[in-house]
Structure 1
Amino acid sequence: AQASFSQVFMGVAFTCGAEEEVIPFFDRGLPVEYELTRSIRVVAKTNRKKIGVLNTEAKLFGGFDFQSMRSTPPWPVVDELKKQYDVEQVSASEPIEEEYDALLIALPSSLPQKEMDHLQDYMEAGNPTLLLVDPLTIINVGLSPSEKAGANMNPFMRNQGPPPKEKGDIHALMTALGVSWNKAQIIWDQYNPHPDFAHLQPEIVFVGANNPEAFNQEHTASAGLQELVLLFPGSLRKAADSDYDFQPLVKTTPASGSLNYSQLVQRSFFGVQLVQPRFGHRPNPAAYTMAAHIKGESFPDTTNGADSDTTQTPTRVNAMVIADLDFISQQFFQIRQQAVGNLNFDNVTFFLNCMDVLVGDESFITLRKKRVRHRTLETIEEKKREFREEQLKEEQEAEAEASQALAEAQKRLSEKVAEVRQRTDLDDRTKEIMARNLQEAEQRKLDALKNKIEAKKEARIQRSKEEMEAKIRSIQSNIKVYSVFLPPLPVLGFGIFIFVRRYKREKEGAAAARRLRA
């Protein structure tokens, strides 16, 4: 083998006057063209946009974690923003008077009411804001809005120091923003285009371009995206009587539904832990919105006795809301840099697009979204979608049958106990003893019946999954067979055509030669 040598750039530094921009290392998954273009422009343009990051319990700038008694580093998203913007920490303990091109708020539900009021005043002045709300934060379940303030603290240190401030009314804040958001509703979706990740629970939501309504193609921030992953996200809707324009950016497939926060967590002395859902997944035909852009004006309501002749100052809003925080956690930045398993999610791209739209600088968006577009097998995807819908129907029917059988058994138990209690030939003590004995005996039967029904239900669901997987494997096998035998057919047909043509011409030539000799 012949050896060859070539220069490899491991990192690049750009300088322009006193400005310097350094890319220390080109990781495998790093978009080189985008990084180079951004670095050149940033270093050549000294007037950067200014981004504010509000101080919340999410601690995007890092801080001291009292639960683990150690310091936490800044989130990678802060370093990513610093490559393009001037980034500053912002406190809402006092009214926010500093001017920012955009304000980032992660977990506004963790703010005390006073800080939440200051944030609302800032947003209603028309200042661009990006809110990351989350019904269940995987990075720290104790930060979820359904938990009380300080739920993530070390249980042995709760009596030390001042108590944490109570959380504010996040529902009122979101309603003022024109958004209806249930802080205890977690969205799930059966869509999963990665066979290697088939074991993941549906609360890890994959959003793919194979669903035509997944991304809003009319909005700059979401148009052209290929795939997002959100972890236990929430759902957003336009609030009733809101005058603001509500534009959905990211949606689930119709094979999706919701669970309550209490179905997915378990509280104990040592904190909050995730558990497997105790109930089945029942789909809702309507798709859920997980990210939206809200903007416009709203005039105060004058129906409550206010003077309608007085000039009313409208409130202006320009905000984007994403119902998940974990989608910009460290693991997704690592996947983006290292291209782990050839995965290429648009989580970081979507976040930066939203920030660019808010600050009014969309020059990088087209370049950022530029990457190889992989075309999937549409027939298989369509069949998978049909099979998933059939599987969900099977699971829903199994759940309904199990619930009906248990309800009937419980009804029979209640009737037998009531029959004993209504007997007039027995004294109260005897009736109580007989009722208790009957209840214990019937309860054992009911428990055995529950186990039997649950096992039958699980067997039916498992059989449905196996049938779906078998059908998908059959389709894949057929496509493989077609891919082997169909491509040679045109060549074979063309070869037969040439052979017949040459044979015919040779035969005609031989006949002509015989006539000449004759």
Structure 2
Amino acid sequence: MALNYVSMALLSVLLYDAVFLLLLLGIVLLLAGTKRAAFAVMKRNFIGYFSNPTGYVFLCIFVFLTSVAAFWPYEFFNANLATLDQLNYWFPMIMLVFIPAITMSIWAEEKRQGTDELLLTLPASDFDIVIGKYMAAASIFTASLLFSQLSTFTTLAILTEGSLDIGLIFTTYLGYWFVGLAMIAIGMIASFLTGNLTVGFILGALFNAPLAFASLAEAVSPSKQFAEWIQGSGIARPFDDFGRGVISSSSIIYFMLVASVALYVCMILIGRRHWTGGKDGNQMAWHYVARAVAMVVFTVGAVMLFRSHELGRRDMTEGKVSSLADATKNLIRNLDDDRPIVIDAFISNEVPELYAQTRYELINLLKEFRAEAAKRNRTIEVNMYDGIDLFSEDAALAAERFGIEPVTRTFREKGAYTQKQLILGAAFRSGLEKVTVPIFEYGIPVEYELVRSINTVASGVRKRLGIVKSDANLMGGVSMAGMQMQRIDKHPLIDELAKQYEVEEVDLTAPISPDMFDALLAVQPSSLDPQQFDRLVTAIQAGVPTAIFEDPRPVGASYITATGDPKQAGGGFMGMGGGGPQPKGDIRTLWSVLELNVPGSAAAQGMYAPDLAWQQHNPYPALEAANELWLFIDEALASEPGESLSDDNPITAGLNQVLAIFAGGVEAKEGGKLKHTSLLQTGPVSGTLDANSVRQILSGSATLAQEIQGINPRMPIAMAIEDGASDDGAQSGGDGSDEGESEDTENANKGIKVVYVADTDVILPEFLIIRADPKQMELRLQLQNVTFALNAIDWLTGDTSFIDVRNHELNFASLKMIDARKEQANSQVRKRSREFQTDFDETLRVAQEKIDTELQSLREEVEKLQEEREDGEVPQSVLQEKLTAFQIKQENQQRMLAVRRERMERERDQKIRDVRREADQDVTAIQNQVKTLAVALPCFPPLIVGIMVFASRRLRERENISKSRLK
């Protein structure tokens, strides 16, 4: 199957190349029809280059260097992305070797052989000769580039099992082609200046060096503005668009103008024979110098104009990794011109694999922000400090001015966990407003973080979100559940929401007016007392949008009272005091208002215990703690799109996987007036269990198979509920275009608007913390719980533009072959680790049984003596002596067992480390094999063809020579 995908990918890129070559062929045919002399010059030089073995040697060197630059650097496998970033970095240096090798003989060879006079006497203009020579060199470079592209593409297709981004690779090579066109024209100037091939090669490299090394100007220039100007004049900046998969008009215009100026200089050099010997030779020389300078000035002005007024840009990547969401573009369009925004991004030179994609995405999007702002005439200044050292001046600036400091993360490398520091943050400023993102975690959509931060500093106005105070204590506090005082930290979700909203805790000691908050977040409202609960229900009926998370059996927070359990009174001072069950609100009242049916049964003290949903599906077999009560709501289980995670509501539209743990089911009442949309539904093999059955399973007295009463597939566990009359009115602001509407219209249409989730564990802190802990990512979890929760709040507040941005997930092509080998190695590590643990437990059990057996006889003697002592037959001293002997032996045995346990633990841990090291070495060996083959194999085709050409040439040379002379 993978081979088929690779073949299809190769056919696709060949189709791209065929279309491109047809366009070039059309240009050549046009030249042949209108400029016969130019076509003759082109044909002569092209055939002459490839009829010489030397040309194939240079071609072989070019393919070798491009392959080495693309696949040999450590960063290629560390990033685990099917891109050509490493080749993009080294390509200008490779061109400084290869382009002069092509251009050095264009005119210098003609001078050396004396054939230049013959060319100049042809019935052709200087333009015909120059353009013919140029097109010949361009054709040679194009053929060489095709060799490199096919070899590089084949390697990437195999590594990605055919799922690479064809558009990105083709566009990158298109950028290389434009770079070559510009550098060839400049290299031709060197060839027209000298008749020596070596000098032509050196001059060609020197003339092209400023464009190739302009990106390094900041390292040598004391002036930052001058350095930025120099960097913008080099080939790195216009090529950058192509390297990211974007075809932009400004980049094409840059390369075409540079090539045009260089070709005009070539025409001046070849035409100087007409006026150098005349009396006005010096004046003409200055005249043409002035012309050339004027063209340079015109080129600089045109490049600056088109960069600030882009005519068009097109993202050619299949994953749209270099595109902004429509909501982002609308945000930029609506920015205030009087409030310029400054973005300072700081990125360290070493970024681990798990953050490589985030780094790539951050740099891509920041450049697109800059380009989109220029196109919309909006002021967004982007300062990127990329590749900085942890102890550099830029790192000090990030820490002192913006509070962005190196962050320590734990990673596993070469079989061991190591800690490393990285910088990957940004600061946003506009006027007096300032927002800092200390680090872009790999689990958070980068575009969402950027848009949210820009919107905050641009507007300075936030909507209000009320956090209902309940047993969950989201804002932090103290819980007295279980008669013990427990300190509860603020939920990390609150910090996430505080980046976008004005967050405030609500204790419901007084009624809530409809205009007090834009939305409420109530976690386990059934734990509220009756008065508070009634005020919450009243607020919902009054039209206050509310997110409700009600859990029939909370797992992650033991201090939260389950729906069907009585709420115990908290302890008094030092845990003393306490009392009986406390009154709770009747959750069934809320269900009635929301027109919901919740499967369940009556419980003690008038409570109602909802049933729990179960499902047979675990996409992560390595997650051994998961069971059927862990509900992976997964689009992979859907028979049609949007069945598991609804596409009918922006909260879940585009999401793929959410995990709920010990969640309940919830259904809409028939004939109700409210509109219900099922957001999360279980899969085809699922159902519900009553509370008693769940207790039996958890106690171990029964199994799930024994307690299942039947299958009830597609059970909703989360719903969006709103008045039918309002329909999707809140979605009208999805593109951000309705932000200016008056609030009066919105308030007039207010009705019930609720997101009800039958689980609180869906927003466990672990789902946020796991994004900052790469150790957990060995499981490659793709859970979108945080996105689901944030989307729910945004939908309730009517700010759905952020949902569009948050759901705009970029698709990156990864090295699937390497990923598969890593997963295979990790699976083997887990398997062997379990075997080692099993052996350890078994050996320990046998040792303990042996000790017990050895002590059994002595224990029986002690028990017998104790009985005889009670009858007065044995003196106390004899019994005490035997007891002492028993205790000494028992202590000795336990001490020996402890020593043995410690030794066995060391041996077990060492074995696990050895297995991990072997697994990493296996992956490294595969990577080294790929490197070797990717570098060596592409060299063989041009080398073989070169040998064949050399042999054919030698045979032709010997055809008319007598055998006697050959001796």
Query: Is TM-score (shorter-chain normalized) higher than 0.5?
Result: yes
- Residues 155 and 186 of structure 1, relative CA distance in 2, 3 Å threshold: farther
The aligned counterpart of 1:435 is none
- Residues 252 and 156 of structure 1, relative CA distance in 2, 3 Å threshold: farther
Residues 1:52 and 2:469 are matched in the alignment: no
Please state how far the C-alpha of 1:373 moved relative to its aligned partner. Answer: 5.6
- Of the three residues 560, 564, 568, the one matched with 1:146 is 564
- Residues 94 and 297 of structure 1, relative CA distance in 2, 3 Å threshold: farther
TM-superposition CA deviations, 1:342-383 (whole Å, max 9, x none): 2121100011111111111111112212335699x9xxxxxx
The aligned counterpart of 1:350 is 788
Secondary structure in 1 aligned to 2:791?
helix
- Give ranges in structure 1 of 5+ residues lacking alignment: 267-272, 299-313, 378-518
Please state how far the C-alpha of 1:71 moved relative to its aligned partner. Answer: 2.1
The aligned counterpart of 2:631 is 205
TM-superposition CA deviations, 1:108-130 (whole Å, max 9, x none): 11011111111111111122111
Alignment of 1:206-225 (within 5 A): 206-210=632-636, 211=638, 212=640, 213-225=643-655
1:128 touches 1:319 (CA, 8 Å); kept in 2? yes
- Rounded Cα–Cα distance in structure 1 between residues aligned with 2:475 and 2:661: 22
- Rounded Cα–Cα distance in structure 1 between residues aligned with 2:549 and 2:720: 12
RMSD: 3.1
Please state how far the C-alpha of 1:107 moved relative to its aligned partner. Answer: 0.3
1:30 touches 1:337 (CA, 8 Å); kept in 2? no
- Of the three residues 294, 313, 316, the one matched with 2:721 is 294
The aligned counterpart of 1:497 is none
- Rounded Cα–Cα distance in structure 2 between residues aligned with 1:356 and 1:81: 10
Secondary structure in 1 aligned to 2:444?
coil
Alignment of 1:374-393 (within 5 A): none
The aligned counterpart of 2:500 is 84
Please state how far the C-alpha of 1:262 moved relative to its aligned partner. Answer: 2.6
The aligned counterpart of 1:334 is 769
- Rounded Cα–Cα distance in structure 2 between residues aligned with 1:334 and 1:134: 21
- Of the three residues 788, 793, 798, the one matched with 1:360 is 798
- Of the three residues 599, 607, 610, the one matched with 1:184 is 610
The aligned counterpart of 1:250 is 680
The aligned counterpart of 1:64 is 478
- Of the three residues 129, 139, 146, the one matched with 2:546 is 129
Give 2:760's aligned amino acid. Answer: L
Residues 1:322 and 2:757 are matched in the alignment: yes
- Residues 198 and 370 of structure 1, relative CA distance in 2, 3 Å threshold: farther
TM-superposition CA deviations, 1:441-493 (whole Å, max 9, x none): xxxxxxxxxxxxxxxxxxxxxxxxxxxxxxxxxxxxxxxxxxxxxxxxxxxxx
Residues 1:107 and 2:535 are matched in the alignment: no
- Rounded Cα–Cα distance in structure 1 between residues aligned with 2:593 and 2:479: 32
Q: Indicate the percent of aligned positions where both proteins have the same amino acid.
A: 31
Secondary structure in 1 aligned to 2:543?
strand
Give 2:499's aligned amino acid. Answer: K
The aligned counterpart of 1:385 is none
TM-superposition CA deviations, 1:266-302 (whole Å, max 9, x none): 8xxxxxx95347243434143100111111169xxxx
2:571 touches 2:577 (CA, 8 Å); kept in 1? no
Q: More deviation in 89-98 or 346-355?
A: 89-98
2:629 touches 2:662 (CA, 8 Å); kept in 1? yes
Alignment of 1:473-488 (within 5 A): none
Please state how far the C-alpha of 1:19 moved relative to its aligned partner. Answer: 2.1
Residues 1:96 and 2:545 are matched in the alignment: no
Larger radius of gyration: 2
- Rounded Cα–Cα distance in structure 1 between residues aligned with 2:807 and 2:448: 9
Please state how far the C-alpha of 1:331 moved relative to its aligned partner. Answer: 0.7
Give 2:645's aligned amino acid. Answer: F
The aligned counterpart of 1:168 is 585
- Rounded Cα–Cα distance in structure 1 between residues aligned with 2:574 and 2:694: 26
- Of the three residues 487, 490, 507, the one matched with 1:74 is 490
Secondary structure in 2 aligned to 1:195?
coil
Please state how far the C-alpha of 1:145 moved relative to its aligned partner. Answer: 1.3
Aligned positions, number: 355
More strand by share: 1
1:49 touches 1:86 (CA, 8 Å); kept in 2? yes
- Of the three residues 676, 689, 699, the one matched with 1:259 is 689
- Rounded Cα–Cα distance in structure 1 between residues aligned with 2:461 and 2:750: 30
Please state how far the C-alpha of 1:147 moved relative to its aligned partner. Answer: 1.2
Secondary structure in 2 aligned to 1:264?
helix
The aligned counterpart of 1:503 is none
- Residues 201 and 157 of structure 1, relative CA distance in 2, 3 Å threshold: farther
2:485 touches 2:575 (CA, 8 Å); kept in 1? no
Secondary structure in 1 aligned to 2:622?
helix
- Residues 277 and 32 of structure 1, relative CA distance in 2, 3 Å threshold: farther
Alignment of 1:449-464 (within 5 A): none
Secondary structure in 2 aligned to 1:223?
coil
- Using the size of structure 2 for normalisation, the TM-score is 0.35
More helix by share: 2
- Rounded Cα–Cα distance in structure 1 between residues aligned with 2:518 and 2:661: 29
- Residues 85 and 66 of structure 1, relative CA distance in 2, 3 Å threshold: same
- Rounded Cα–Cα distance in structure 2 between residues aligned with 1:3 and 1:149: 58
- Rounded Cα–Cα distance in structure 2 between residues aligned with 1:353 and 1:133: 18
Residues 1:118 and 2:535 are matched in the alignment: yes
Secondary structure in 1 aligned to 2:663?
coil
Secondary structure in 2 aligned to 1:364?
helix
- Rounded Cα–Cα distance in structure 2 between residues aligned with 1:247 and 1:319: 11
Residues 1:19 and 2:433 are matched in the alignment: yes
Residues 1:39 and 2:440 are matched in the alignment: no
- Rounded Cα–Cα distance in structure 2 between residues aligned with 1:261 and 1:335: 30
Secondary structure in 1 aligned to 2:808?
coil
Secondary structure in 2 aligned to 1:36?
helix
- Rounded Cα–Cα distance in structure 1 between residues aligned with 2:782 and 2:722: 31
1:178 touches 1:242 (CA, 8 Å); kept in 2? yes
- Residues 17 and 252 of structure 1, relative CA distance in 2, 3 Å threshold: same
Please state how far the C-alpha of 1:175 moved relative to its aligned partner. Answer: 1.2
2:526 touches 2:563 (CA, 8 Å); kept in 1? yes
- Residues 10 and 374 of structure 1, relative CA distance in 2, 3 Å threshold: closer
Q: More deviation in 27-36 or 131-140?
A: 27-36
Secondary structure in 2 aligned to 1:160?
coil
Give 1:288's aligned amino acid. Answer: M
Residues 1:369 and 2:796 are matched in the alignment: no
Give 1:236's aligned amino acid. Answer: V
- Residues 370 and 25 of structure 1, relative CA distance in 2, 3 Å threshold: same
The aligned counterpart of 1:438 is none
- Residues 147 and 374 of structure 1, relative CA distance in 2, 3 Å threshold: farther
- Using the size of structure 1 for normalisation, the TM-score is 0.63
- Rounded Cα–Cα distance in structure 1 between residues aligned with 2:525 and 2:74: 58
1:30 touches 1:338 (CA, 8 Å); kept in 2? no
Secondary structure in 1 aligned to 2:592?
helix
1:264 touches 1:277 (CA, 8 Å); kept in 2? no
Please state how far the C-alpha of 1:95 moved relative to its aligned partner. Answer: 1.2
